[in-house]
Amino acid sequence: MSKPKGFEKPTGFRDYTPHVVTKLRTIERNVLECMERWGYRQIITPTIEYYDTVGVASSTSDRKLFKLLNSRGTTLVLRSDLTAPIARVVSSMLKDEQLPLRLSYHANVFRSIEEEAGREAEFFQTGVELVGDDSPEADAEVVALAIASLQAAGVSSFKIAMGHMGFLNGLLEEVIPGQTAEQEQLKEGLLGRDYVGYRQSIEALNLEPKLKEQLEAILRLRGGKEVCTHAAELSSSVEAAQSIAHLCAVFEVLEAYGVSEHVLIDLTMIGDFSYYTGMTFEGYAAELGSPVCSGGRYDNLIQQFGRSLPATGFALKTNRIIDGVHGIIIEEKKPVLIQYSPKRRAEALTEAARLRSMGQNVVTLLLLEDGAESSAVSGEATTVQAEQIITYGSEEGGGR
């Protein structure tokens, strides 16, 4: 195995140059401030968690977890999302706080990837969790906040696709009751947006035409509020009917928020079906074909940590916004340059401190006796792009 070169880094990891960091921090600040205005308090959890607790509770498949051993041989993981760690904290340190809990976060997460160009093993997420409320109002709140957060992040043109796990579960149990493997295969097709494979799976079931049509009709259940009516007519399942009623109620609340123009109902959109239990959604920016946010209801997660509470939330895929959306224009603030001779160093540095205390960015530069710039790197000239240049020269009694 060849030794990596000094400038190389592991596949899936990246360096963030100053300009990109400025954009990242701007998005982070704007979005977290938006979430704070909605009553969400920021939480920070460890980068490393126990595999047997947070690792197994995570929605991330086991093969995508970064695992390591501590000095005692206990298996640890790099966090692959923030929802499972927050569920751990809610069940322990926050168990005496009044419900519902509104928590926000911004952090890096890690997921092992194949050796494939363009995939990231470390990336940033900014999101919220709303814990202790199972109402349509709560689900609508996180969708509305996701819309506000995307706008705060500079994403101006986007759509939120909203579905419900309960509808699909109810319909599948009605059409092919007890056939768990076949149900999972159909869900896999929808999850991967493999509609050809989904239809092929239906054909393989050898159903009578009416039942076959029920399953194929899911692919047409995309649109506005009218989808609720069509879906209710498609299935007589109690679970499906309750799920559609809940989804319609969420949409009505979003209408009251005045944001329903950004939302479409898409009952083919099921999210990670091993994780979500109710309403799910994804946000798509006009510039990108992949989601820039995702979320939904996960009422079974927190009970894995010993506390039974409903919960819903979402996460912005911050890296995709940084790289693929150009709504936020970053104008880098040029500093004031204070250059000075050795004799007037103290005077110049005092002025630099004064300007910094007033919020101004200041760069200082020592001038040599002949007036040339001093360089930190021998033999290289320095050039500072400055908004203003102030010079403290070596001449006796000289000014700026």
Cα–Cα distance for residue pair 205/184, rounded to 1 Å: 13
Residues 6+ apart with CB under 8 A from 17: none
Q: How far is CA 317 from CA 27, 103, 230, in A?
A: 11, 17, 32
Residue in the structure block whose two tokens are 């968690």: 49
Instruction: Encode pLDDT of 265-280 as tens digits.
Output: 999 888 776 788 999 9
Whether 142 contacts 128, CB under 8 Å: yes
Cα dihedral 174, 175, 178, 179, rounded to 10, equals: -150
Mean residue pLDDT of the chain comes to: 89
**Encoded amino acid at 226, one letter:** E
| Local confidence band at 342 (pLDDT 50, 70, 90 cut-offs) | very high
- Minimum mean pLDDT range among 3-17, 53-67, 265-279: 3-17
Region 158-166: mean pLDDT is 93
Q: Specify the pTM.
A: 0.88
Residues 6+ apart with CB under 8 A from 18: none
Whether 160 contacts 338, CB under 8 Å: no
Instruction: Encode pLDDT of 95-137 as tens digits.
Output: 999 999 999 999 999 998 765 556 788 999 999 999 999 999 9
Instruction: Encode pLDDT of 295-337 as tens digits.
Output: 999 999 999 999 999 999 999 999 999 988 877 777 778 899 9
Cα–Cα distance for residue pair 55/64, rounded to 1 Å: 11
- What is the full DSSP assignment across 108-172? EEE----S-TT--SEEEEEEEEEES--SHHHHHHHHHHHHHHHHHTT--SEEEEEEEHHHHHHHH
Is residue 5 scored above 80 in pLDDT?
Answer: no
